[in-house]
Amino acid sequence: MENILQNMNQRFISIMREQEGVLGAWNFGSALHGTTDKFSDIDIVFLIDQQHFDRIDDSVTEWLESVSDRVIVCWPEGFNSKAIKNYGYIVELEGRLFQYDLFLINQGHADDFICKIHYTDLKTTNIIFEIGDAVKQIIQHAPKGECWNADIEHLIHTYWFHIHMSAKYLLREDFFKLNGVLRTLMDTHTSLLLAAYDKIPWGGSANKLHFLDEEKKNHLKKYGCVDDFSLVRVNMLQSIGWFEADVEDIGKPNEINLNKGLAQTVKRNWVLQTEKV
C-alpha cells in the first residue's frame, strides 16, 4: 500500500475521531487479514451512534475531499441502507488516482446481516480507535468466519445439466448465452474445489481461490468464453476432464454418490453433438 494513500487515511481518521457520534474504527479487507501489497487500497469501517448516523453519512464525502486533492467519484453500494453505508471512492493525490472504500455501521442496527459481515472475526488488535468500549462490545457478538460449504451431489447435477445446455449455444455460436453458461460451470467447479480444500474462514470465493493449488486455479481459467467457438470447445473438453477427476478425488473419500452414469451419458452426447464446431 502506498505511503501517500496511508497518509491521507490517517488525516481522514483524525477528522472522524473528532466528530461527535463516531464511536470507533477498524480495518477491513486485506489490511484486516494481513494480505496487503503495493496494489492494495484502503478498506475502513467506522461505527456510528444511531442518533448521528445520517449527519455523519451526509458529511463524509466533504471530509474526504478536505484531505485529498479531490474526490473523482463516490460510488454507493447497492446494499446501502439505514444499517450500513458503503462508499467506494476514487480520490486524487498529487496527480495520481487511488481507491478508498469507506463503511459506516449504524450502532443501532449492528446486528443487521450485512453489518455482521464487516465485523466477522474482528479482534481487539484490529481496532484503530474506539470511544469507551463501543467496538469491544461489537466484538463480543462478532460471528465466526466459516470455510466453504456446499452440497457436492447438487454441484455434480448442476454441472452436467449446464454442460448439456452449452451444446446448443456452441452450435448456434451464441456468445452471450454460452458465456453465461460457462460462468455457471466455472462457479460450480469452483464451489466443488472450495468445498474440499478451503481452509480460509473469511472472504468470498475470489479471496479463497488465492489459497488453492496453482494447477487447480489454472484449470478454472479455461472456462472463459471467446468468439473462437472451436477453441471454446477444446477448452471445455479439458475442463470436463478436470471436473471428472476432481469429483473422483473429492467424492470417493467422502462416500458421495458420484453419479458416473449421468456424467458418461451427458459427456458422450455433448461430444457427438458438438463435434462439428
- DSSP one-letter string for 65-90: HHHSSEEEEEEE-TT--SSEEEEEEE
Q: Which CATH architecture has domain 3-140?
A: 2-Layer Sandwich (3.30)
CA atoms within 13 Å, Cβ hemisphere of 15: 16
Give the E-state strand segments of the chain in sequence order. 22-27, 42-48, 70-76, 84-93, 96-106, 127-130
Q: Cβ distance 223 to 189 under 8 Å? A: yes
pLDDT at 36: 66
- DSSP one-letter string for 132-174: TTHHHHHHHTPPPP------HHHHHHHHHHHHHHHHHHHHHT-
What CA–CA distance (Å, rounded) separates 129 from 74?
25
Q: What residue spans define the domains of the chain?
A: 3-140, 152-274
What CA–CA distance (Å, rounded) separates 145 from 147?
7
What CA–CA distance (Å, rounded) separates 86 from 21?
18
Q: Which CATH architecture has domain 152-274?
A: Up-down Bundle (1.20)
Per-residue pLDDT of the chain in tens (277 residues, 90 and over written 9): 578 999 999 999 999 999 999 999 999 876 555 666 676 788 999 999 999 999 999 999 999 999 999 999 999 999 999 999 999 999 999 999 999 999 999 999 999 999 999 999 899 989 999 999 999 999 998 999 899 999 999 999 999 999 999 999 999 999 999 999 999 999 999 999 999 999 988 888 998 998 999 999 999 999 999 999 999 999 999 999 999 999 999 987 666 667 788 999 999 999 999 999 9
pLDDT at 42: 87
The cell for 273 is 453433438
pLDDT at 2: 78
Same fold, 3-140 and 152-274: no
Q: Supply the pTM of this predicted model.
A: 0.85
pLDDT at 212: 92
End-to-end CA, the chain: 47
Q: Which residues face 71 on adjacent strands?
A: 91
pLDDT at 268: 96
pLDDT at 277: 93
143-148: which pairs have CB atoms within 8 A and are 24 or more residues apart? 143/116, 144/120, 144/201, 145/120, 145/121, 145/201, 145/202, 146/201, 147/194, 147/198, 147/199, 147/200, 147/201, 148/191, 148/194, 148/195, 148/198, 148/205, 148/208
pLDDT at 69: 97
What type of residue sits at position 132? G
**Residue of 173, 150, 206 lying closest to 276 (CA atoms):** 173
What CA–CA distance (Å, rounded) separates 242 from 246?
6
